[in-house]
Amino acid sequence: MGGDFGPEVVIAGAAKALERHPDVTFVLFGLKEDCEPHLQKYPKLRERSVFHECELAVGMDEKPSQALRRGRYVSTMWRAIEAVKRDEADVAVSAGNTGALMAMAKFCLRTMAHVERPAIAGIWPTLKGESIVLDIGATIGADAQQLMDFALMGGAMARALFETDRPTVGLLNVGVEEVKGLEEVKEAGRLIREANLPTIAYHGFVEGDDIGKGTVDVVVTEGFTGNIALKTAEGTARQISQLLRDAMSRTFLAKMGYLLAKGAFDLLREKMDPRKVNGGVFLGLNGIVIKSHGSTDPEGFAAAIDVGYDMARNRLTEKIAEDLRIYHARHQPPAGPEAA
Amino acid sequence: MGGDFGPEVVIAGAAKALERHPDVTFVLFGLKEDCEPHLQKYPKLRERSVFHECELAVGMDEKPSQALRRGRYVSTMWRAIEAVKRDEADVAVSAGNTGALMAMAKFCLRTMAHVERPAIAGIWPTLKGESIVLDIGATIGADAQQLMDFALMGGAMARALFETDRPTVGLLNVGVEEVKGLEEVKEAGRLIREANLPTIAYHGFVEGDDIGKGTVDVVVTEGFTGNIALKTAEGTARQISQLLRDAMSRTFLAKMGYLLAKGAFDLLREKMDPRKVNGGVFLGLNGIVIKSHGSTDPEGFAAAIDVGYDMARNRLTEKIAEDLRIYHARHQPPAGPEAA
């Protein structure tokens, strides 16, 4: 039901994802009168899905606490998450209210053993392909141990999504000389290095411009900085594409040139298409929940389902649990940064 | 002496700036044998400048403490800053070691009354023109009062640089629902709003993508986030231009199109030219110091001088001091965020 356009986009997106992955089945939760007309348009999807009528949908502007109070047990959002908990679904995908989705996911699925706080991981297009950046906005601040957990969880996600057994991991930091970096980031660097894990290759610190370069497979940071980095990059990409559009429509020659080079522009657009990397993955919970951009179109929502599909097939939750178990069995709970 | 290319770029940049601002005079500090050959190439600059031979130049890799120990009183960097202190120069511009420059500037010029910590302000190209972002890396973290000071100082810089008497100011924050934002950012918002200053129009919170949109004239944040936002935006811009270059050289049609639209591409390149907005301005000290990118070319270094020229003509230091005086005369020192 969620997102700026509701079932129209969600159902069309599911239909698109089904074309790409004919082995998927869908468990849909919605208000009947809103979903029925759209479902009728996609007979194949209808055949491969079960529709559960719900009595309530969480609003996009509801506060998490309010959504939880009103929508627990009964809302479409809750029931989609609950389907994961009950093993009726491998992954829940929603374009709805992010705060409500995180609050309900935490409440319903609970955090994994050893994980204090969940993170939201984003997939970032880079010059080399794609990287994972986390946390992009689940919570503000993170101590060294939480950053270590993010590194483990991001590493497991990279192993599930990319063709690598030992993804490279970097800690986002500043390179300005006189600034020595955040204490907790330095401490996290020490923890990751000392853990010397077989599942991740620790690269060291990376700076903001390393994200787009694709210097590492996984960029680890806390939610405030991660969210601002993500939005700043999105803003810069939009700004350049706007300037490019303006420049290309300015003169006759430019317009002609644009027409000739249209294939190249399309290629660029495809490479930077934010829809292709749509989907923030909630990590650290006992189940996979994917948040699609609320403003996305069917192609973008299908991309969020694709991410969920890859995660489920590659048993992401089990991979994370396993990595955490190995790490924590080998390591005493370390002292906080204050004690260092 | 500083920067990746030393006097060659600095002196050529000064010559370029002199062409644009024939009323400028230069006070140059350098090692004679390194500067002399370059100075000879620019007789006009030579005529409008005084050269002070120094015995020592700070290395690009020296730690700030080391540079300060070795280079205080005697290095080219120190003496350039000292010229500002002694009123022999209105502004010091350097492409040298950022950490050393900040350490020496703090030590030599001292922070202004009421200012606890200096900030580095950057000029950011936006869809609407330019905005000021601070702090982009002077120090990590800032409490509410320091963010309030940054707002005042950035506002004064906007009044000096842009055509406005009451620039709009936004506090960088995250918009994700469940994350309520950093405590100190919320508290700073309250402080700025309550101050109700005649010199700045407080806009409220802004997100990462608002920077490129040009939503406000001044974006206020602490140094860690500011530095990462800046580098992430630079990285994204480079990434897109790389992809665009690749796409445009891929097929014959694309190459033809590129040639026809070359004027448009040049226009875009000019709008996004990082050299044009080269120069981090140290705010909050008793004098203006500008840090140019170390890797810049003469055009970029001249742009840093241009920024300094505008600042000096518009009496930035006096404006900041005046704004701070007015604010602090009207307000009790507020309680820290813990007490709120």
Q: How do residues A246-264 score in pLDDT, each as one tens digit? A: 887 878 877 877 777 777 7
pLDDT class of A274 with cuts at 50, 70, 90: low
B75 in the Ramachandran plot: left (φ > 0), alpha (ψ -120 to 50) or beta? beta
- pLDDT, residue A335, reads 52
Domain final residue pick, B238, B257, B283: B283
Strand partners, A202: A169
Region A105-120 average pLDDT: 93
- Each of the 340 residues of chain B gets a pLDDT tens digit; together they read 988 999 999 999 999 999 999 999 999 999 999 999 999 999 999 999 999 999 999 998 899 999 999 999 999 999 999 999 999 999 999 999 988 999 999 999 999 988 989 999 999 989 999 999 999 988 888 999 999 999 999 999 999 888 899 999 999 998 754 456 788 999 999 999 999 999 999 999 999 999 999 999 999 999 999 999 999 998 888 888 888 888 878 788 778 777 777 777 777 777 766 666 677 999 999 999 999 988 889 999 999 999 999 999 999 999 999 888 888 888 765 555 544 3
Does one domain contain both B278 and B156?
Answer: yes
- The whole-number pLDDT of residue B108 equals 97
Residues B66 and B141 in one domain: no
Amino acid A177: pLDDT: 47
Predicted local distance difference test score (pLDDT) of residue B305: 95
Mean pLDDT computed over A43-57: 95
Q: Which of B210, B227, B259 sits opposite A235 (nearest CB)?
A: B210
pLDDT grade for A339, boundaries at 50, 70 and 90: very low
Q: Is A165 part of any domain?
A: yes
CA atoms within 13 A on the CB side of B106: 17
Question: What residues in B contact A99, CB-CB < 8 Å?
Answer: 176-179
B257 and A254: CB-CB below 8 Å? no
Q: State the total domains in chain B.
A: 2
Q: What is the pLDDT of residue A340?
A: 39
Would B315 be classed as within a structural domain? no
The verdict on residue A300 lying in a domain is no
In terms of domains, do B236 and B160 share one?
Answer: yes
**Confidence at residue B182, expressed as pLDDT on a 0 to 100 scale:** 84
Interface test with B, best of A128, A178, A221, A245 (most B CBs within 10 A): A178
C-alpha distances (whole Å) from A257 to each of A241, B206, B273 are: 16, 37, 22
- SS3 label, residue A183: helix
Q: Three-state SS for B338?
A: helix
Residue of B nearest to A98 (CA): B177
Q: What is the reported pLDDT for A333?
A: 58
* Residues of chain A contacting residue B261, judged by C-beta atoms under 8 Å apart: 247-248, 253-254, 256-258, 261
CATH code for position B137? 3.40.718.10
Which of A63, A137, A233 lies at the smallest CB-CB distance from B232? A233
pLDDT at A277: 67
Nearest to A208 by CA among A187, A226, A234: A226
B279 in the same domain as B289:
no
pLDDT at B261: 77
Contacts of B10 (CB under 8 A, 6+ apart): B1, B2, B3, B95, B301
In whole angstroms, give the CA distance from residue B214 to residue B132: 10
Same domain? B103 vs B144: no
Q: Is residue B256 part of a domain?
A: yes
Per-residue pLDDT tens over the stretch A141-165: 899 999 999 999 999 999 988 889 9
Least confident of A86-100, A220-234, A270-284, B203-217: A270-284
DSSP E strands in A263-338: the ranges are 280-283, 288-291
Among B residues 195-254, those touching chain A with beta carbons less than 8 Å apart: 207-213, 221, 223-225, 227-244, 247-248, 250-251, 253-254
Q: Is residue A224 part of a domain?
A: yes
- H helices of A4-125, in order, are 7-20, 32-39, 43-47, 64-71, 76-85, 98-109
A145: closest CA of chain B, how far (Å):
20
Per-residue pLDDT at B76: 97
Compute the distance between CA of residue A89 and CA of residue A58 in angstroms, rounded to an integer.
20
Q: Domain range spanning residue A214?
A: 114-281
Candidate from A175, A229, A254 with C-beta closest to B208? A229
Residue of A nearest to B235 (CA): A209
Q: Are residues B74 and B200 in the same domain?
A: no
Please tell me if residue A98 touches chain B, with a CB cutoff of 8 Å. Answer: yes
Residue A215 counted as domain residue: yes
Query: How far off is chain A from B272, nearest CA to CA, in Å?
Result: 8
Is B316 within a domain? Answer: no
Does B314 contact A at CB distance below 8 Å? no
Residue A302 placed within a domain: no
**Cross-chain residue pair B209–A231, CB shorter than 8 Å:** yes
Residue at which a domain ends, from B259, B283, B307: B283
Of A147-151, A272-276, A304-308, B252-256, least confident by mean pLDDT is A272-276
Does B266 lie in the same domain as B136? yes
pLDDT at A176: 53
